[in-house]
Structure formats: C-alpha cells, structure tokens
Structure 1
C-alpha cells in the first residue's frame, strides 16, 4: 500500500474515481472500518480525514444515483428539494452493508449528521461550514486537498465528472492546501474572482461587508481573474500570484492588482549573519529566504559591504536594519521590493 503521504492521497483520489484494484478497495475500506475503533490504525490524523472524505463521497455518489433511479417511479421529481435531499441522504446512510457496519463510528455519525443537515444534492456537492462563534474548522476534500475554514465561512466542493476539474465555491475566508494534480486544475470561486491552481497553498478572503477580495499565496502559484458577470467585472486581465504575494480585487474600482502580503513568511532556511558581505549578497539571501524579488542597482552597490547580524525579525524589519546601516531606503511595487542605495566609495 501507500508508503508516504503523497502516495496515500493519490490512492484515495483513484478510489474516489473508481480506479482502484479490488485489493486496494478492500484495504481502503478496511482502514475506514477501523476509524473510531480500539484497534490501532497506522495513519496520520490528516490521512484519516482524507480517508473519511473519500469514502463518504464514494458512498454518496453510488447510493444517491441508485436511490434517485428507484424513486423516479414514485413521483420523485415532484417532491420538494429539501425532501429529496433528506431522502437521498438517508439512502446514503443505510443503502449498503458497508455503510451500516460503519454507523457506530463517532466520526461517521458526525459525517452523517452533516450530510442530513446541509447537503442539498449529495451526489454532486459537498458542503462545509464553520460556525461564526466557533474556532476555525479544518476539512479534508475527496481529492486529497485540505481546507481550513475561518469562523463563519462556507465552502461547497464539486469534482466535475466530465472533465475531472475541481471546483470550490467560498464565502468567507479559508486557507487551501491543494493536492497537486496537473491534469485536473483546482478553482476557488467567490462572488467576485476566480483563483485557479494545480497544487499549492493559499488563502482566500471574501468576507461579506468587505468590498475587496484578497488571494494570498503561501507556496506555488495562483492565477486570479475577475469572475465573468460579477458585479463590477470589466475587461481586467488575470494576474499570477506567487509566494508571499497577494492579489486584491476591488469591484468598486474595477481593478485587480498584485502586492506583497503584510508579513511575508520565511520559506527557506538561511543564515542572516553577515560579516563584511557585499550588500548585493545580503539582498540575495533575503530574496531566497522569503521568495520575494528584490531589485537594486548592482553598479551603485558594487563597493558596499555590511557587518550585520539578523535574527527572526520579519522581513521588513530586516530591510529597515539594512537601510539604517547604509542610509538607504526601499519601496514595494507589484509584489516585489525595490531597494534604493547610495554608491559607496572604494576602499
């Protein structure tokens, strides 16, 4: 079976798509039966969450189709939507021996309650919510991705069967850790923008009552564009957002722009102890550590050196210390840093 987390998530993805071998299906369902039981289950908490999501989606897809086909002869199409949803969800819970065997697991009971309460079309959409007055909620999607919902956020998720494209609709704020799948892009839609990735981690903030939408990238790259037909949407070109950058869209101004996040996070280990080091080297170290482009006039800084010991300060604090030592300054523009330094005399 899977030897690491990536292989495990790929296995669950194939299972959800019905592409596993019979032996792999038996292993996955055996793992699932152990959730909430006393016997040890050699999976991480993240893998358990992904396993739960994948198996439930597979059960929902299979049993909901069967129930809809069976109920059509009883005037199913004329039933109110809420009644149809409850009927299909009930079928999901009890339509197979496998589902019945799992009913005693506390985790499964919670999943069942969630489906009955919130999923209007179990065969098509998964719905996740985070109560406004509760802590943030972390959920696993059937494709192996993870989403952390901020309080008050709502997420709907669907994998389009015809294309395999992964689509999520978000209201509120959420952090996405998307499972890499080059053949099946993952798109997050808000009322105003569309963010499309292959596999990366990023935050989307589309909070009711706040006019602007923000998309902050932690790793990878995200393509952001206004949604066609959205309020205020016009001929605005899409932009690519990279680590420690964010896209901001203002429907009022009909503008989409790129900028650095307020507090860039360090992405790669680096030593920040500089003993008589060229300033150009210092700036390159900072750029590599934070994944942020820093432009400067190499000729002007050719003779400039620094003796400086930096620690765990935020990036902008580090730059302030460099500027103080050199009498320099910097500015930010379009998601990058522009460093302005005075020429130094040759020794």
Structure 2
C-alpha cells in the first residue's frame, strides 16, 4: 500500500483507490479514509480538494467532450512530472544562459514566443497580444469602456462580453480555428458560445481562464492586489498566466483549478498564490422562479436534505452519512440564503459546518433515534 502521507494533490487525484472511494463511496473505502483522516488531520484540506476535483470531473462527463476531459487529466500528469524535473531545469537554464535556451527552443518550433518575451520588458499580457498580432498579421480590435455604465461587446464568434467601467478588452478580428483568445484589463462578464473544439481563453496579467462552460466574470484591474474569476454557469479552468511560457499552457508547477457554479478563484499578486472558495452569496443553479426555490421537508432524513442542497446549488457537501442516519428535519425553506439554511439545519441537528476550498464540511455528533 502506498504511503499516503507523502501524497500531493495530483497523487490523490490519480490514485485508483482514492478515486474509487470518491466515486462509489463503498463502506470499506469510507472506513479506510475516515480512519486515515483521523490519523492525519493535517491532510484534510488536501484530501477534500482532491475529492472535489475527482467528483467534478465525473460530473463533467455529461457536459465535456472526451478531448476536454483527457486534456484536464493530462494536465495533472504533466504537472507531476514537471514538479519532479523542475529543479534540474532551473539549474540547467542558469548554467547555459537564456540565449542558448532560446536557441534550443527555436529548434522545436517555439522560438517566436521566446523572441517576443526576451525582446520586451512589457507585462505578460502585452507580450501575448504582440504574439497574437504576429500570428494574425493584423492589429487586434481594442475596446475600452470610458462610459459610466457597463458596455456590451459582441465578439466575432457571437459571444457577448459585458465590459465594466474603465475596463479594456482586445481580440482579433476573426478567431482562429484552433482557439478563441481575448485579452482583458479590468472586469468583464463573459457569456460564451459553447464550441468544445475551439476553446475560449481569457488572458489577464495574473490569470488565464479557459472556458469549459458558458458564463463567468473575470476581475483583474492593473493596480489591484487581487485578481478573481467567478463562475455563474458551466465550468471554467483557471491557472496562472505564465510570463515565460506559451499562451494557453499551464505555468510550471502550478495546478489548474476547475471551477463550477458558485465557485471562485482569487489570485494574490503579492503572495503569487491562487485560492478557491465559494462566492459570498451562492445562488441556486438552473432556477427560474421563486417557487422553484421552495423546499418543504417533513421528517426528512437530513442526509436527503443535504443531497437536495447539493443539487440545488451545485456545491459539494462532505458529511458522515452513517453518523447522520438518525437525524431528521421538518422545515420549509424559501428565499433564505444557502448559509441561512445551513445555520437552521445545523441548529436543529446540533451540528456545525465549515467552508473549505469551495466545499461545505458538516461536523456532527449524530442524533438520537426517534421513538
């Protein structure tokens, strides 16, 4: 049996025993991992993050193409190998110097990108724009919202962008057949036409967002300490914008975050770290009327209630189903926020909850059986 105490996020995601536990929740696997987490409480955040990723990748199979799923899993494998080789590559680059590294890259067809990077002291976003203009052979279309209201921008593929005040977006006159690329300074809401074979990427100086779904917000003002991506519907993949890599590729040693509705990623420009979390006020997904939000429970097992909330908000909830087996709830919910609902449920069952890495973890001592 492998030594799980030394496992990284990628190791857990790729481990067959771990994936079986997440996807099947069999009693033997549940007992093993519950006992392992009790013995290794410092690994809880890591395990929950990996559990969420595996679960969401499974859920995504109905919405993502085989190529998209394969691409995301391959990112994990590539990152793990890159992490192992990273120190050796850095030492090599320092030894031979940037000129010889660039010359070697030219031999494998990436010389133009490194040429632009090395000849420019501009930001990553500016360098990406220069490369895009070289590839298309014409200047990018540039739109800056200088009004006091949001501005609607229509892209060549039919996608729509709501550009906030003082923000700027650039894009080619016609997207390539390989992928759609736009460049953003400031804040915008994107409503993207779904084309699985033609990925949609939003570049900022801090973050790159690859669309796996439909609508999301990117906030990346030039002087802000933080950059943020917030998902409303569908799925997106977010990773650092590498200053010395190829557009659309992951930065070395940096994992991608797959976000689903009601999740966000925040990038701290000082600490150079990304953090995934829930949005401040999660909203029901695919809900069009107030009546659809009404939930009535009459002596309902609380595990059933949690499953209903998971489906309504698209948020993963972790709890011990066996421990909560005797807990029931009688309540009627309407316009209350998700967190207000959870407060009431936990108060009724003498439980508590905590938000960890865009998941909700329920802690409970269980309930006495009703007579």
Of 175, 197, 200, 1:186 maps to 200
Distance 1:161 1:188, change over 3 A: closer
What is the DSSP-based 3-state SS (H/G/I as helix, E as strand, rest coil) of the residue aligned with 2:157?
Answer: coil
Bigger helix share: 2
1:236–1:254 contact (8 Å) kept in structure 2:
no
Of 265, 287, 298, 2:283 maps to 265
Aligned-CA RMSD value:
2.2
CA distance in 2, matches of 1:234, 1:250: 18
Q: Which residue of 1 aligns with 2:355?
A: 332
Of 233, 251, 267, 1:249 maps to 267
CA distance in 2, matches of 1:204, 1:161: 20
- Please show how residues 179-328 of structure 1 align to structure 2 within 5 Å: 179-229=193-243, 235-268=253-286, 269-328=292-351
1:174–1:205 contact (8 Å) kept in structure 2:
yes
1:175 correspondence with 2:175: no
Deviation string for 1:43-81 (max 9, x for gaps)? xxxxxxxxxxxxxxxxxxxxxxxxxxxxxxxxxxxxxxx
Greater Rg over alpha carbons, structure: 1
What is the DSSP-based 3-state SS (H/G/I as helix, E as strand, rest coil) of the residue aligned with 2:172?
Answer: strand
Shift in Å at residue 159 of structure 1? Answer: 6.3
1:310–1:318 contact (8 Å) kept in structure 2:
yes
CA distance in 1, matches of 2:308, 2:173: 41
Shift in Å at residue 162 of structure 1? Answer: 5.0
Q: Which residue of 2 aligns with 1:343?
A: 366
Distance 1:336 1:140, change over 3 A: same
Distance 1:161 1:216, change over 3 A: closer
What is the DSSP-based 3-state SS (H/G/I as helix, E as strand, rest coil) of the residue aligned with 1:284?
Answer: helix
What is the DSSP-based 3-state SS (H/G/I as helix, E as strand, rest coil) of the residue aligned with 2:305?
Answer: helix
CA distance in 2, matches of 1:237, 1:302: 37
CA distance in 1, matches of 2:180, 2:252: 25
Shift in Å at residue 160 of structure 1? Answer: 6.5
Shift in Å at residue 198 of structure 1? Answer: 4.1
CA distance in 2, matches of 1:153, 1:320: 38
CA distance in 1, matches of 2:265, 2:345: 28
Shift in Å at residue 308 of structure 1? Answer: 0.8
1:143 correspondence with 2:157: yes
Distance 1:236 1:325, change over 3 A: same
Number of equivalent positions: 225
CA distance in 1, matches of 2:323, 2:362: 11
* Structure possessing the higher relative contact order (Cα contacts under 8 Å, 6 or more residues apart): 2
Distance 1:144 1:162, change over 3 A: closer
Deviation string for 1:270-319 (max 9, x for gaps)? 54111111101111111111111111110111000011111111111111
Structure 1 gaps of 5+ residues are: 1-120
Structure 2 gaps of 5+ residues are: 1-135, 245-250, 287-291
